[in-house]
Structure 1
Amino acid sequence: MPLKWSTELNRNGEVLSKPIHQKAKSVAAEFAAAADQRRSLSKEVVETLRECGFGRHFVPTIYGGENGDFTTLMAEVGSLGGSCASTGWCGSLYATCGRMASYLPVRGQEEIWGKSGPDVLISTSYRRSGQSIPTEDGWILSGQWHYLSGIEHAAWALVCFAPSEGGSRYGAVRVEDCKILDNWETLGMRGTGSHSISLDNIFVPFHRTFHKRELFSGRSRSTEGKQYQVSPIATDPVLFMAVALGSARDLMEKWAPAGLIRSTDSIFAAAYARSDAELDAAQLLLDRACLNCDQGEMSTFVMLRNARDVSLAAELVIASTERVFRLLGSHVHSQSDTTRKWRDIQTLVSHIGIRSDLNFKNFSNYLWETQRMNCAHSFSK
Structure 2
Amino acid sequence: MTGRTTVAPTARTTVAPAGRTTLVQRERTTVARSGRTAARPGRTTAAPAGRTAVVQRERTTAPAAGTTVVPAGSTAFAESGGVAVVQAGSATPAQARPAAAAESGGAAVVQVGPAGSAEGGGAAVVQVGPAAAAEEGGTTAAEAGGTTAAEVGPAAAVESGGAAVGQAGSATAAEVGVGSEAGTLQDSDAGARIARLARLAGARAQRADVRRRLDADVVAEMGRAGFNRHFVPIEHGGTAGSFTSLTAAAARVGERCTSAAWVATLFAAHGRIAAYLPEPARHELWHASPDVRIAAGVAPPVVRARAVPGGWALAGEWPSVSGADFADWVLLAALAEEPGGAVSRLFLVPADDCTVLDTWHPLGMRGTGSNTVRLDGVRVPAHRTVAREALLRPRAADAARCHSVPYPLVAALMFAAPLVGAARGALADWIGSAPTCDRTEDVLARSSGELRAAELLVRAAAERADSGGVEPLAVAENVRDVVAAVELCGAAADRLFKTGGTRVQAADDPVQRRRRDIEAGASHAMLRFGPSARSYARAVWGA
> One fold, TM greater than 0.5?
yes
Q: In the alignment, what sits opposite 2:420?
A: 245
What letter matches 1:276 in structure 2?
Answer: S
- SS at structure 2 position matched to 1:146: strand
Contact map agreement 2:269 2:414 (CA 8 A) in 1: no
Contact map agreement 2:324 2:371 (CA 8 A) in 1: yes
What letter matches 1:205 in structure 2?
Answer: P
Q: In the alignment, what sits opposite 1:283?
A: 455
Q: In the alignment, what sits opposite 1:201?
A: 377
Match of 1:28 among 201, 224, 242: 201
| Aligned pairs (5 A) from 1:5-44 | 18-44=191-217
> What do you get for the CA RMSD once the two structures are aligned?
2.1
Quote the sequence identity (%): 33
Q: In the alignment, what sits opposite 1:305?
A: 477
CA distance in 2, matches of 1:253, 1:132: 48
Report deviation, 1:72. Answer: 0.3
Name structure 1 gaps, 5 residues minimum: 1-10, 371-381
Q: 1:88 to 1:172 in 2, by over 3 A?
A: same
- SS at structure 2 position matched to 1:294: helix
Q: In the alignment, what sits opposite 2:494?
A: 322
Radius of gyration: which is bigger? 2
Q: In the alignment, what sits opposite 2:294?
A: 122
CA distance in 1, matches of 2:397, 2:271: 13
Match of 2:307 among 134, 140, 150: 134
Contact map agreement 1:124 1:159 (CA 8 A) in 2: yes
What letter matches 1:180 in structure 2?
Answer: V
- SS at structure 1 position matched to 2:317: strand
Report deviation, 1:223. Answer: 7.5
CA distance in 2, matches of 1:238, 1:232: 10
Q: 1:84 to 1:101 in 2, by over 3 A?
A: same
Q: In the alignment, what sits opposite 1:225?
A: 400
What letter matches 1:152 in structure 2?
Answer: D
Contact map agreement 2:396 2:404 (CA 8 A) in 1: no
Report deviation, 1:296. Answer: 6.8
CA distance in 2, matches of 1:22, 1:254: 18
Cα deviation 1:258-313 (Å, max 9, x = unaligned): 32268xx6x21122111111111111111110011112761111111111111111
CA distance in 2, matches of 1:129, 1:148: 15
Task: Tell me, yes or no, if structure 1 residue 331 matches structure 2 residue 503.
Answer: yes
- SS at structure 1 position matched to 2:448: helix
Q: In the alignment, what sits opposite 1:7?
A: none
Q: 1:159 to 1:222 in 2, by over 3 A?
A: farther
| Structure with higher helix content | 1
Cα deviation 1:175-223 (Å, max 9, x = unaligned): 10011111011011011011111111111112111110011x1432498
- SS at structure 2 position matched to 1:120: coil
CA distance in 1, matches of 2:344, 2:313: 15
CA distance in 2, matches of 1:199, 1:253: 43
Q: In the alignment, what sits opposite 1:350?
A: 523
TM-score (norm 1): 0.88
- SS at structure 1 position matched to 2:394: coil
Report deviation, 1:318. Answer: 1.2
CA distance in 2, matches of 1:26, 1:167: 44
Report deviation, 1:129. Answer: 3.0
Q: In the alignment, what sits opposite 2:360?
A: 184
Task: Tell me, yes or no, if structure 1 residue 256 matches structure 2 residue 437.
Answer: no
Match of 1:155 among 319, 328, 332: 328
CA distance in 2, matches of 1:297, 1:119: 30
CA distance in 2, matches of 1:39, 1:255: 24
Report deviation, 1:257. Answer: 3.4
What letter matches 2:474 in structure 1?
Answer: V
Q: In the alignment, what sits opposite 2:250?
A: 77
Contact map agreement 2:312 2:380 (CA 8 A) in 1: yes
CA distance in 2, matches of 1:229, 1:41: 32
Q: In the alignment, what sits opposite 1:3?
A: none
Name structure 2 gaps, 5 residues minimum: 1-184
